[in-house]
């Protein structure tokens, strides 16, 4: 597992397929702040709540200069179904080999119902306009995270 990111670290660059199979790179967003959030699986209760919260607050975040990218190991086809089913407007990206998840320390050992398992660690990394980590939050809760993030960022 990669070491957790800290403010000032360069954000690992990536190019991943979106829900439509189109490539999206972190570099595409230079000049804007980017909220990169990592979630375990599309169409599960917690991940749905989090994606809907980001969608509900997308205009407010965009006005404040933030783009939002959600990354999971799900295939683009599943992400497309998730987007349609929940009317999501956030950009969802597919990381099936977990390379980006690992680079951001958002994949590794975690405790799930008292057992230690390997999986996606729900995390959010704020990347500044130059591609540096501004904030890195690990083991965040699905419910209430977006509201807390908006408060913490002063949006």
Active site residues: 47
DSSP 61-96: HHHTTEEEEEEES--HHHHHHHHHHHT--SEEEE-T
SS3 48: helix
- Rounded-to-integer distance, Cα 83 and Cα 92, Å: 8
How many C-beta atoms surround the C-beta of residue 22 within 10 A?
10
């Amino acid at each position: 597992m990669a070491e957790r990111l800290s403010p000032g670290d360069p954000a690992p660059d990536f190019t991943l397929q979106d829900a439509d199979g189109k490539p999206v790179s972190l570099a595409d967003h230079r000049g804007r702040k980017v909220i990169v959030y990592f979630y375990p699986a599309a169409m599960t209760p917690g991940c749905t709540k989090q994606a809907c919260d980001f969608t509900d607050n997308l205009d407010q975040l965009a006005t404040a200069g933030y783009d939002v990218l959600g990354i999971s190991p799900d295939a683009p086809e599943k992400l497309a179904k998730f987007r349609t089913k929940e009317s999501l407007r956030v950009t969802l990206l597919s990381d099936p080999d977990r390379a980006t998840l690992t680079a951001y320390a958002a994949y590794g050992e975690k405790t799930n119902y008292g057992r230690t398992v390997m999986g996606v660690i729900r995390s959010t990394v704020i990347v500044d306009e130059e591609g540096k980590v501004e904030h890195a939050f690990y083991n965040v809760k699905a419910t209430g995270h977006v509201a807390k993030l908006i408060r913490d960022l002063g949006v």
